[in-house]
Every structure is written in C-alpha cells, then in structure tokens.
Homo-oligomer: A and B are copies of this chain.
C-alpha cells in the first residue's frame, strides 16, 4: 500500500447498555488513538442495539466502504450476545463451532475445574471461515472474517485484542497533528481561521470551543499527512493569533 494512500476504518459498538446511558463507552477513543498511530483513519462509528437486523445492516454498510471494520461487544456466553449469528448473517455464512476455539476453552475450564457449560461453549462459535483473534486476558477469542474484526466489549479484553491484531493492519501515511491553545472564542478568530484554512489546502483545521467560567476559549487542531504543510499552517495560525495578543 502506498505511503500516501488514505486508509479508513469504521467501528460498530454493539450493546443496549451503550444506548440506555448505563455504560459510557471507552473503546471508541481507545481504537481511534490506536488507529491514528497506525495511519488508519477512523471515519465512522455506529452504536447499535443487541438487534440482529441493526448489526447486519451496520456491518454490511461499513465493510463495503472501509478497509477495516471493528466491532465491540456481544460475543459472550449469554442469550443477549448475538453478534456472531448476526455477523454470519451479514456474510451469508453459517455459524460453526470453531474447533480450535472449542479446544482452547475446554482446556481452560478443565484446568480450572469449571463446567464447560452450553453457555460457555457458545464462545467457541464463529461464522464459517473466521480466523481467531487471541484473548490474552480471558481466553474466549475474537475473530476476523474478511475485513471485519469482531472483538469483545469489555475494555481490558478489547484492548488486548487490538494488540493481538496490530501486526495484521496496514496503514497509510500517518496523520500528523499540532494543537494550538487560543485564549479567544471562535467568534473572534473564526473569520481569520477560515482564510487560513482556505490558504492551506493540504491541512485540515479543527476548531474546538471550550466554555468555562462564562468565557469561551478555543483549541485549534491542525492535521496533515505532510510535515511541511503542517508547519506552514501552524506558523500562519500563530501569526494570526499574535494580532489578538493582550498587550
């Protein structure tokens, strides 16, 4: 893959608890930061309920549009864990008992003198043709099917699975970024910033308002795949801000 190719990914975060306000998602920001470092741009996230139709629709829409799709949640042992049959349906393949996953889990529970119950055996199921993702935290694996990476929802396990698949991900050129803190509100600098954005087409300039103690300030984040373009745009912003310096 070329160093200048833009490589994009999407995420499907699965679970009623994310949509009821019960659970504050932690995996989105973690995945985003990890992908940035790999030169992969997280382009969209969908949070969907434990609902087969919603999962199928999201996985199929996103896997067609992006190099990688990562899912989180719904691969545990209980009745509300429906990610695997939904992903299988999205790919039009059957759910199978994955023999390697089955033997790993069987050995794990035997060693601990715990029953390898029907519920636990469910965690050995994958869509036909999937390749396992190692879970160094709690054994039950995730899996890869084509460009879709199916991972656990528990942050510690999700993070371990990200590390496990890292060598298999190929990114483009890394997106560089610089952040400039600006003590003025967006309304003050907005017109000048728009001019700088137009004059620096190789960068994207994000402007993030903060509102504290009844006063607005702004963080300006400049991103580019070119260090030269990034440096030029940063210099333009610093020059512009010096106009507003409190003297």
Which of B19, B50, B77, B191 meets A117, CB within 8 Å? B191
Cα(A204)–Cα(B194), bound, Å: 50
Q: Is there an interface contact between B44 and A46, defined as CB atoms closer than 8 Å?
A: yes
Q: Is there an interface contact between B187 and A50, defined as CB atoms closer than 8 Å?
A: no
User: Could you tell me how many residues of chain A have their Cβ less than 8 Å away from some Cβ of chain B?
Assistant: 70
Q: Is there an interface contact between A206 and B137, defined as CB atoms closer than 8 Å?
A: no
Q: Does A188 contact B (CB under 8 A)?
A: yes
Q: Is there an interface contact between B187 and A77, defined as CB atoms closer than 8 Å?
A: yes
Q: Does A24 contact B (CB under 8 A)?
A: yes
Q: How many copies does the complex hold?
A: 2
Which positions 1-43 of chain A face chain B at CB distance < 8 Å? 16-25, 28-33, 36, 41-43
When distances are taken between beta carbons in the complex, the residues of chain B under 8 Å from A49 are 43-44
Q: Does A186 contact B (CB under 8 A)?
A: yes
Q: Does A156 contact B (CB under 8 A)?
A: yes
Q: Is there an interface contact between B47 and A54, defined as CB atoms closer than 8 Å?
A: no
Q: Which 6 A-B pairs have the closest CB atoms?
A: A119-B190, A21-B32, A21-B33, A79-B194, A78-B207, A45-B47
A residues near B (Cβ < 8 Å) are 16-25, 28-33, 36, 41-50, 54, 76-81, 109, 114-115, 117-120, 122-123, 137-138, 154, 156-157, 177, 186-191, 193-194, 197-198, 204-211, 216, 221, 223
Q: Given contact pairs A44-B48, A118-B191, A154-B210, enumerate 12 new A-B contacts (beta carbons under 8 Å).
A: A17-B208, A21-B32, A24-B29, A25-B28, A45-B45, A50-B206, A77-B186, A79-B194, A117-B191, A119-B187, A119-B189, A119-B194
